[in-house]
Amino acid sequence: MKFDPVLFAKAIADDTRQRIMSECCCCWLSVNEIVEKVGFTQPTISHHLAILRDAGLVNIREEGKQTFYSLNQDHLAVCCGQVMFKFAPESETTINLKQIIQG
Amino acid sequence: MKFDPVLFAKAIADDTRQRIMSECCCCWLSVNEIVEKVGFTQPTISHHLAILRDAGLVNIREEGKQTFYSLNQDHLAVCCGQVMFKFAPESETTINLKQIIQG
DNA sequence: ACATTATATAGATAAACGTCTATTTGTCAA
DNA sequence: TTGACAAATAGACGTTTATCTATATAATGT
């Protein structure tokens, strides 16, 4: 369950995946709905969703034939925070963020 | 000067670059010092430093023959914040961060 | 001027990645 | 049980990327 900053960064380091993230940032979408919105083939979208899933960045809900995805905003925010703690420990923003989170 | 979340994510999405970032996170190092610490050839390190430079993630100081690099912690923190604002706008952490920065 | 040292750039190569088509798996309705 | 639909998986292919060796550029010391 340990945080892997390379896995996280690789997961978000692609234009198509960022478009998927934008589309299902704040709502649940089926794979087909994402396909229609993003404009690649269904296998390509499934491939990207698997990468986001492996990084823990999406919530998944199966419902009959369909599978719905939504972005896991909280985990994404945590990952960004971890990157800040690791690589920008002296930045004011990071120090303030740490105080918020820890109490 | 606009923020490009794909460029940023790609820049940090590599193990070697993250090792470089760790090494010169909080100090200035010459290219040769980074080469010794990270353990790849000098051209490989220069290649990665160029990618970090293009993403605005390093400060550069030329001094005679040598070039010193240090991680731009503030810009890194800003980029992480931008990713949070864009993809996790509803997360508590993001909302709190926004308040810190704006007020 | 020349040799030396530090860094950047060019070019080659192998591995990783993104996309596609084809197929498989699983669910539902008739 | 069959047919239709949704999603995942397999495999192929072209592009990008990370690394290396070789070379160029630039600064310093003799």
State the pLDDT confidence band at A51, using cuts at 50, 70 and 90: very high
pLDDT of residue A8: 98
Q: What average pLDDT does chain A have?
A: 97
pLDDT of residue A1: 72
Per DSSP, the three-state class of A63 is: strand
pLDDT tens for chain B, 103 residues long, are 789 999 999 999 999 999 999 999 999 999 999 999 999 999 999 999 999 999 999 999 999 999 999 999 999 999 999 999 999 999 999 999 999 998 6
Task: Provide the whole-model pTM.
Answer: 0.96
**Residue ranges in A1-103 assigned as alpha helix (H):** 5-12, 15-23, 31-38, 42-54, 73-87, 92-102
Distance from CA of A77 to the nearest CA of B (A): 6
- CB of B25 within 8 Å of a chain A CB? The answer is yes
User: Can you give the residue ranges of every domain in chain A?
Assistant: 5-102
- Spatial distance from the CA of A14 to the C1' of D12 (Å): 22
Separation in Å, CA A21 to CA A59, B85, B94:
11, 13, 16
Alpha-carbon gap, residue B54 to A10, rounded angstroms: 18
Alpha-carbon gap, residue A49 to B68, rounded angstroms: 40
Query: Within 7 Å: CB of A67 and strand D?
Result: yes
Inter-chain residue contact B93 with A74, CB threshold 8 Å: yes
Q: What CATH number was assigned to the domain covering residues B5-102?
A: 1.10.10.10
* Residue B69 buriedness (CB in 10 A; 0-12 / 13-18 / 19+): buried
Query: Within 7 Å: CB of A42 and strand D?
Result: yes
β partners of residue A67:
A62
Query: What is the DSSP secondary structure assignment for residue B88, as one 8-state letter?
Result: -
- CB of A83 within 8 Å of a chain B CB? The answer is yes
